[in-house]
């Protein structure tokens, strides 16, 4: 049976990749269909109810700069906001929000339902229609054939999904959802490299059974950070705190005593799990010398008692989970509302994809999200947006586009995946980017919004707000450059109280702002030097652009120098363990491969340009 409508783009899957993909294609004016198992699970957070964090927050801002959904949905759903690394430089500052799970889903669904050119349809996709190495549509579980120019697959952890709780396992896409078996079989017939990965989630707890007086409280920031460039604090719902507890010797003993009942340690699970989000049994075994691990207790929402204990993801049997939970302070009588579990699923080697996320062997077929070997909502959303945009460009018969490594963290992610591939769930870190000073959260719009406008992702409202901001930044920079503090100025005494060393000659306000002891706000406290920019984002930009100009220029020189280091020799007995700043993953890979030159090191799978930079700095120190 044929469906009555022909689409430009069909997106399969309504998770974080699928919702961004569908919204992006529709924003670009393409007749788009979002086909998903269940309309009620659009935008569902499969694991922890949080968005952002280091590296991930950068991706969210970039999604927003390109007109995406995630940041705005988080502003509407966030119940605790924080800026991580706030005492460090702007390059590594990152926004993180605890979200109300239900509000987040509602915000995503509302965005989609109100998006022009987008239709939503609840059906499982069981098959792809491929003709002459080109995808031309999909077949749903009731045999409906729906045709389109491009198809984006974003089916997450669902392909041949296998859920493990202790030694018992069953098929599932995630707890409470069916797996995707027919589609998985069909994809295994296509010339694609497929493997298995694994991820896990902790048990959830009923807050009414927890003794909060035993827990450490963790409040959000005040004033609360805002995620979207178009957002404001007034978008946020009521703010509530999170809490902290710890595992202890007893917890670890329970785990050690039951390892033979862990599907991972018993060899039942084949897929590799996320290195940076290990299960509690993994942490206890890998860091055997640590007597305790910090566990963040995160509320799942404003209208539920459920809590998410961040840090005790596990696939141990339920009776062991009860013992683990009840061994922690404040949790002695805790009731588990949902058991923790691990899930194994199929993923595709992302080296089979072009930089546009189009498959190299099947034209018009795009892949995004967890099926490309990544982990995390933000990584999925970023890929979804780029895949949806490129599916739309392809449907329009236009050239594809994706950002480069020096333009966006999304560019780093695309380049890492499509050139290096991944053997373990890939997540974003600031350390993966070599141009960190250029790729900041605060300037994501300056880096990307104009490009987004050019391809049709950015609407008039965002475009106008962006241009107004740019004009404010430019005029304020000009004003600070042209305004001078003179030795005879009436406010000189007031200014000198803010300076480490009093002025001995005249200075422009731009020069003064470069001084570490001054901020834009503190300078503008001197009334005569105003008026101060009231636009918070523009004021922040003025300050960062002026203060960090020198560093940014030096980074550019470093990039050029790095390109000249192809033949720099690496001693064969080099001790990589002594290089601080390299991840254990990178150290292990370098020690294993023992590359002869820096050029060869840079081409080892998983050795990022950022790691090469650190290597070069270390070599320079050695002389």
Task: Pinpoint the alpha helices (H) of 327-443.
Answer: 377-395, 409-415
Separation CA 380–CA 401 (nearest Å): 18
- Residue 116, Ramachandran bin (φ over 0: left; ψ between -120 and 50: alpha; else beta): beta
Residues making contact with ligand FAD (CB under 6 A): 12-18, 35-38, 41, 46-47, 124-125, 154-158, 173-174, 177, 180, 183, 199-201, 277, 313, 343, 369-370, 375-377, 380, 427
Nearer to ligand FAD, 432 or 507 (CB): 432
- Sequence length of the chain is 623
Of 113 and 525, the one with the shorter C-beta distance to ligand FAD is: 113
- Name the token pair of 522: 């503190």
Between CA 223 and CA 200 the distance in angstroms is: 34
Ligand-binding site membership of 5 (annotated): no
* Residue 17 in marked binding region: yes
**Smallest distance from ligand FAD to CB 581, Å:** 23
Shortest Å, Cβ 181 to ligand FAD: 9
C-alpha to C-alpha distance for 166 and 11, rounded to whole angstroms: 35
The Cα 279–Cα 341 span in angstroms is 10
Answer yes or no: are the C-beta atoms of 18 and 404 closer than 8 Å. Answer: no
Name the residue nearer to ligand FAD (CB basis): 10 or 509.
10
281 assigned binding-site residue: yes
Is 309 annotated in some ligand binding site? no
Tell me the closest approach of the beta carbon of residue 586 to ligand FAD, in angstroms. Answer: 20
Q: Phi then psi for 152, rounded to 5 degrees?
A: -115, 125
Residue of 49, 48, 261 whose CA lies nearest to 165: 261
Q: Is 181 exposed, middle or buried (0-12, 13-18, 19+ CB in 10 A)?
A: middle
| Residue 275 known to bind ligand | yes
Residues 176 and 474: their CA atoms lie apart, in Å, by 52
Check the annotation: does 276 bind a ligand: yes
To the nearest whole angstrom, how small is the minimum distance from the Cβ of residue 427 to ligand FAD? 6
606 among annotated binding-site residues = no
In the complex, the smallest distance separating the C-beta of residue 125 from ligand FAD, rounded to whole angstroms, is: 4
Closer by beta carbon to ligand FAD, 413 or else 539: 413
Would you say 139 and 125 are in contact if contact means Cβ atoms under 8 Å apart?
Answer: yes
Q: What residues have CB less than 8 Å from 249, skipping those under 6 apart?
A: 291, 292
Indicate the residue among 69 and 612 with the shorter CB distance to ligand FAD.
69
Cis peptide upstream of residue 223 (ω within 30 degrees of 0): yes
- Show Cβ contacts of residue 474 under 8 Å, excluding neighbours closer than 6 positions: none
287 is in an annotated binding site: yes
Shortest reach from residue 384's CB to ligand FAD, in Å:
6
Whole-angstrom distance, CA of residue 215 vs CA of residue 241: 12
Residue number, 347 or 548, with CB nearest to ligand FAD: 347
3 annotated to bind ligand: no
DSSP E strand stretches across 32-111? 32-36, 50-52, 78-84, 94-99
Q: Is 532 annotated as a binding residue?
A: no
Query: Closest Cα to residue 146, out of 22, 362, 37, 1?
Result: 1
Pairing of strands 7-12, 145-153: parallel
Cα angle, residue 92 at apex, residues 89 and 93 outer, rounded to 5°: 80
For residues 188, 376, 74 and 205, what is the CA-based torsion angle, rounded to 10 degrees?
110
184 is in an annotated binding site: no
> Closest distance between ligand FAD and the C-beta of residue 142, in Å?
12
Q: In terms of CB distance, is 158 or 576 closer to ligand FAD?
A: 158
Residue 283 marked in a binding site: yes
Q: Which C-beta is closer to ligand FAD: that of 13 or that of 78? A: 13
CB of 182 to ligand FAD, least distance (A): 7
User: Is 16 labeled as ligand-binding?
Assistant: yes
**Does residue 531 have a cis peptide bond before it, meaning omega lies within 30 degrees of 0?**
yes
What would the DSSP string read from start to end of 226-265? Answer: --STT--GGG------EEEEE--HHHHHHHHHTGGG-TTT
With respect to ligand FAD, which residue has the nearer C-beta, 37 or 252?
37
Considering the complex, what minimum distance in angstroms separates the CB of residue 165 from ligand FAD?
A: 11
* Closer residue to ligand FAD, CB minimum distance, 313 or 602: 313
- Smallest distance, ligand FAD to C-beta of residue 374, A: 7
Summarize the annotated binding site for FAD as residue ranges.
Answer: 13-18
Summarize the annotated binding site as residue ranges.
Answer: 13-18, 273-287
């Amino acid at each position: 049976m044929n469906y009555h409508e022909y689409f430009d783009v069909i997106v399969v899957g309504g998770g974080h990749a699928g919702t961004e993909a569908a919204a992006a294609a529709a924003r670009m004016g393409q007749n788009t269909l979002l086909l998903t198992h269940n309309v009620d699970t659009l935008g569902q957070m499969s694991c922890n109810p949080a968005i952002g964090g280091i590296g991930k927050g950068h991706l969210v801002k970039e999604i927003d700069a390109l007109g995406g959904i995630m940041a705005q949905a988080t502003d509407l759903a966030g119940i605790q906001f924080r800026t991580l690394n706030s005492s460090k430089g702007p390059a590594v500052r990152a926004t993180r929000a605890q979200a109300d799970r239900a509000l987040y889903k509602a915000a995503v669904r509302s965005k989609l339902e109100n998006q022009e050119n987008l239709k939503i349809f609840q059906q499982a996709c069981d098959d792809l229609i491929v003709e002459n190495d080109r995808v031309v549509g999909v077949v749903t579980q009731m045999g409906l054939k729906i045709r389109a120019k491009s198809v984006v697959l974003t089916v997450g952890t669902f392909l041949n999904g296998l859920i493990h709780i202790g030694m018992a396992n069953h098929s599932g896409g995630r707890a409470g959802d069916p797996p995707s078996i027919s589609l998985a079989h069909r994809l295994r017939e296509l010339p694609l490299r497929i493997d298995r990965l694994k991820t896990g989630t902790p048990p959830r707890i009923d807050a009414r059974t927890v003794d909060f007086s035993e827990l450490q409280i963790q409040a959000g920031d005040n004033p609360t950070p805002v995620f979207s460039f178009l957002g404001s604090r007034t978008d946020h719902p009521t703010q509530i705190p999170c809490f902290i507890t710890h595992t202890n010797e007893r917890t670890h003993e329970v785990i050690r005593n039951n390892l033979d009942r862990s599907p991972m340690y018993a060899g039942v699970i084949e897929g590799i799990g996320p290195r940076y989000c290990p299960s509690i049994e993994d942490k206890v075994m890998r860091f055997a010398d640590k007597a305790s691990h910090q566990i963040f207790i995160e509320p799942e929402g404003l209208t539920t008692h459920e809590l998410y204990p961040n840090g005790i993801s596990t696939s141990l049997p339920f009776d062991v989970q009860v013992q683990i939970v009840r061994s922690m302070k404040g949790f002695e009588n805790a009731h588990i509302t949902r058991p923790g579990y691990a899930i194994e699923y199929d993923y595709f080697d992302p080296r089979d994809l072009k930089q546009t996320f189009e498959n190299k062997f099947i034209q018009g077929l795009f892949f995004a999200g967890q099926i490309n070997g990544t982990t995390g909502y933000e990584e999925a959303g970023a890929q979804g947006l780029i895949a949806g945009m490129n599916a739309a460009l392809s449907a329009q018969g236009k050239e594809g586009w994706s950002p480069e490594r020096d333009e966006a963290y999304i560019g780093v992610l695309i380049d890492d995946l499509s050139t290096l591939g991944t053997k373990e769930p890939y997540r974003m870190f600031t350390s993966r980017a070599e141009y960190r000073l250029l790729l900041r959260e605060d300037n994501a719009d300056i880096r990307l919004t104009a490009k987004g406008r050019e391809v049709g992702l950015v609407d008039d409202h965002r475009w106008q707000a962006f241009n107004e901001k740019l004009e404010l930044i430019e005029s304020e920079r000009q004003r600070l450059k042209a305004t001078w503090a003179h030795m005879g100025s009436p406010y000189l005494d007031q200014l000198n109280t803010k300076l480490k060393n009093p002025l001995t000659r005249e200075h422009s306000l731009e020069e003064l702002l470069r001084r570490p002891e001054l901020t834009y706000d503190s300078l503008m406290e001197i009334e005569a030097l105003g008026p101060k920019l009231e636009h918070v984002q523009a004021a922040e930009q003025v300050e960062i652009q002026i203060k960090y100009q020198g560093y940014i220029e030096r980074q550019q020189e470093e990039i050029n120098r790095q390109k000249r280091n192809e033949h720099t020799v690496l001693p064969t007995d080099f001790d990589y363990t002594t290089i601080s700043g390299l991840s254990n993953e990178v150290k292990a890979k370098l020690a294993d491969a023992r590359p002869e030159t820096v050029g060869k090191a840079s081409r080892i799978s998983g050795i990022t340009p950022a790691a090469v930079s650190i290597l070069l700095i270390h070599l320079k120190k050695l002389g």
